[in-house]
Structure 1
Amino acid sequence: MNTIDARIDMNFGRQTNPLNKLPEVTAAFWLIKLMAVTMGETAADYLNVNLGLGLSAASLMMTVILIGTLALQLSHRRYVPWVYWLNVALISVVGTLLTDYLVDNLGVSLVTCTVTFSALLAATFAVWCRIEGTLSIHDVDTALREAFYWLATLLTFALGTAVGDLVAEQFALGLDGILSFWLIYILTRPLGASFGDLLSQPVVYGGMGYGTIMTSHGFLAVIAITFGAMTIMQARQK
């Protein structure tokens, strides 16, 4: 790879492995991922409650569909955007339904689900690293590595549902507006700092390589646009 290509890889996170089955990790990637997480929760509730399928039928149906789309994903030798993101969307729904089924239908506690999914996720990473020698998402270029990736993805969605429900229900944080506000206020600081580092740090250090100047200007632009929109909305309400 020549100097120019290396610089592009450093600054924009371009894929360096043409056989990698995963997309580039960019801001768009995280935005779609965030939407997929949100959609998984709402879609699971829609299938279970609004359509009246129930957890058993909804879980079985979505699992069968997911198996089919995963087979399609594995059949491709390259990254195909619509196939990949279809699987992310479906696996978010199945992960949510899996936790809901264990808790609501089988009576498994949220604490048990959280501990179990955490252990399974840790074991998946351990076995994956032991066999393949890497957990890099830039080198998911074999069927085995991709199988480990999708298993880890499913477990993260199931774990996220369990943790979210545990925090909201068991600890009743949603019932105390003041406590919720200050906890979120505190937690957004390290989350924001970590996200800023992710965007600004060089690719070789695990970031996206946009640099501190571009990252700062980008966030400033978003803040300015949001502030402007809020100002306009407030003026219209008067």
Structure 2
Amino acid sequence: MNKPLLTDMLHEQSIFSKVPEITAYFWITKVLTTGMGEVFSDYLVKQIDPVIAVALGGLGLAASMVLQFMVRRYIAWIYWLVVVMVSIFGTMAADVVHVVLGIPYLISTAFFAAVLAAVFVIWYAVEKTLSIHSIYTFRRELFYWATVLGTFALGTASGDMTAMTLHLGYFSSGILFAIFLALPALGYKLFGLNAIFAFWFAYVMTRPVGASFSDWLSKSHSLGGIGLGEGQVSLVSTIIIIVLVGYLQITRPDVKGKPAESGTP
């Protein structure tokens, strides 16, 4: 294959990538969406019938996913809408396993870890890569979002496990997982840790970090929080997310291969 043709193909793939570039904005927005999804899920199931709440969460996730699959490239507000809905529904899924089915957090954490590992194994067996820089086909995007949903469910269960089963409390759990979140970055920068492994390890950790600190802010003093309430924390988090995603939508610092601005041939 001649070099100009190969360059054009790679450039076309970057233009139509369905996920954002991994920048500081990505990690900040990701942590915020995890926290917002955690507390809003709790708020929703307390305000209306839990069955209806779960159904609404599922419908919202399905609608946002349809929208995401309809577009041909990464669009900030659509992508992060899906992440928010995955966060809300992933929290509900983890809570159903524990609250409704009565399965202990330790077992549910192990279950979701096994499910996520299975998704990774199948994804790699089929596509020969787990890189998010290769998300430009329908099948790879299916694997990507299945993985994202698995990371949210696992992160929720593991955060609850450390806070409740291990009695660390929400704040201490948040600190613990924040340390775990920093480890792959240090490993990648200092010791050459595999970039794909580092990314997905950190991605999983963002969930319990955001969820633990949001629970700490929202839960009552009797539950180890500072008592701001799920509604207030959800509202403030949502406003911050809207402002941040609006900035990303307008300025596009996380768009890969911007031909008009970058002058890439």
Asked whether the two chains share a fold, i.e. TM above 0.5, the reply is: yes
Give 1:77 deviation, angstroms: 1.0
Instruction: Read off the aligned partner of 2:30 and give its amino acid letter.
Output: K
Number of residue pairs the alignment of both structures matches? 190
**Structure with larger RCO (C-alpha < 8 A, sep 6+):** 2
Equivalence for 2:185: 195
Partner residue, 1:79: 74
| 1:166-181 alignment, distance < 5 Å | 166-174=161-169, 180=172
**Which residue number corresponds to residue 56 of structure 1?**
51
Aligned residues of 1:47 and 1:58 also touching (Cα < 8 A): yes
1:1-238 equivalent positions in 2, closer than 5 A:
17-49=14-46, 52-174=47-169, 180=172, 184=175, 188=179, 191-192=181-182, 194-195=184-185
Conserved in 1, the CA contact under 8 Å of 2:13 and 2:136?
A: no
Q: Percent identity?
A: 36
Which amino acid in structure 2 is aligned with residue 19 of structure 1? F
Note closer, same or farther for the CA distance 1:185–1:174 as it changes in structure 2 (3 Å cut).
Answer: closer
Does the 8 A contact of 1:128 with 1:148 survive in 2?
yes
What CA distance in whole angstroms lies between the structure 1 residues aligned with 2:130 and 2:138?
14
> Displacement of 1:196 after TM fit?
5.1
Check conservation: 1:124, 1:152, Cα contact below 8 A.
yes
2-structure distance, mates of 1:184, 1:81: 29
Normalising to structure 1: TM-score of the pair? 0.70
The offset of 1:108, in angstroms, is 1.9
Task: Tell me which residue corresponds to 1:215.
Answer: none
Indicate the structure (1 or 2) with the bigger Cα radius of gyration. 1
Shift of 1:184: 4.2
Unaligned runs of 5+ in 1: 3-13, 209-238
Tell me the CA shift for residue 16 of structure 1. 7.1
Alignment partners' CA distance in 2, 1:201 and 1:17: 28
Distance in 2, matches of 1:111 and 1:205, equals: 29
Shift in Å at residue 116 of structure 1?
1.1
